[in-house]
Structure 1
Amino acid sequence: MALDRGTLTRADLSEEVHREIGLSRADSAAVVEQVLEHMCLALARGENVKISGFGSFILREKGQRIGRNPKTGVEVPIAPRRVLTFRASQMLRDRIVSGN
Structure 2
Amino acid sequence: MNKTELVETIAQRTDIAKKDVQSVLDTFEDIAGEIVAKGKDSLTIPGFLKFEQTHRAARTGRNPQTGETIQVPAANAAKVTAGAKLKNRAKTGS
Give runs of ≥4 in structure 1 deviating > 4 Å. none
Distance 2:30 2:6 in 1: 14
| C-alpha RMSD of the superposition | 1.6
Q: Which stretch of the first structure deviates more once superposed, 73-82 or 43-52?
A: 43-52
Where does residue 55 of structure 2 map in the other structure? 61
Q: TM-score scaled to structure 2, two decimals?
A: 0.83
Where does residue 85 of structure 2 map in the other structure? 91
Percent identity over paired residues:
23
Distance 1:97 1:60 in 2: 27
Q: TM-score scaled to structure 1, two decimals?
A: 0.79
Where does residue 37 of structure 2 map in the other structure? 44
- Match among 5, 16, 22 for residue 23 of structure 1: 16
Structure 1: 5+ residue stretches without partners: 1-7
Structure 2: 5+ residue stretches without partners: none
Where does residue 82 of structure 1 map in the other structure? 76
- Match among 10, 14, 27 for residue 7 of structure 2: 14
Q: CA deviation at 1:85?
A: 2.3
Q: CA deviation at 1:51?
A: 1.2
